[in-house]
Amino acid sequence: MAAVLTERDEWASAFPVVILLVSVLTIGISWSFGRLVQKSQALSGELKRLENHDKLTNVASREFFFAEMERRPSVHGVILMVDLDRFKSVNDTYGHLVGDVVLRDVATLLAGNIRGEDLICRFSGEEFLIFLNRQDETTGASIGERLRSVVEKRKIPIGATDPVRITVSLGAARMDSISNLKVAITAAGEALCRAKSGGRDRLVVGWSDIETSAMEDAA
> Do 201 and 152 form a contact (C-beta atoms < 8 A)?
yes
Backbone φ and ψ for 80, nearest 5 degrees, come out as -115, 130
The per-residue pLDDT for 215 is 40
In the chain, the DSSP E strands lie at: 77-84, 119-124, 127-133, 168-175, 202-205, 211-213
- pLDDT > 70 in the chain, percent: 77
The residue with greater pLDDT, 80 or 5, is: 80
The per-residue pLDDT for 219 is 37
The per-residue pLDDT for 90 is 97
Confidence of residue 47 (pLDDT cuts 50, 70, 90): very low
Evaluate if residue 17 carries a pLDDT over 50.
Answer: yes
- pLDDT > 90 in the chain, percent: 68
Backbone φ and ψ for 55, nearest 5 degrees, come out as -65, -30
Over residues 128-147, the mean pLDDT reads 97
Q: In what order do the strands lie in the sheet with 211-213?
A: 119-124, 127-133, 77-84, 168-175, 202-205, 211-213
Mean pLDDT value across the chain: 85
Evaluate if residue 18 carries a pLDDT over 80.
Answer: no
Evaluate if residue 44 carries a pLDDT over 70.
Answer: no
In tens, the pLDDT along 194-215 reads 999 999 999 999 996 444 444 4
Cite the active site residues: 126
In tens, the pLDDT along 82-124 reads 999 999 999 999 999 999 999 999 999 999 999 999 999 999 9
Evaluate if residue 33 carries a pLDDT over 60.
Answer: yes
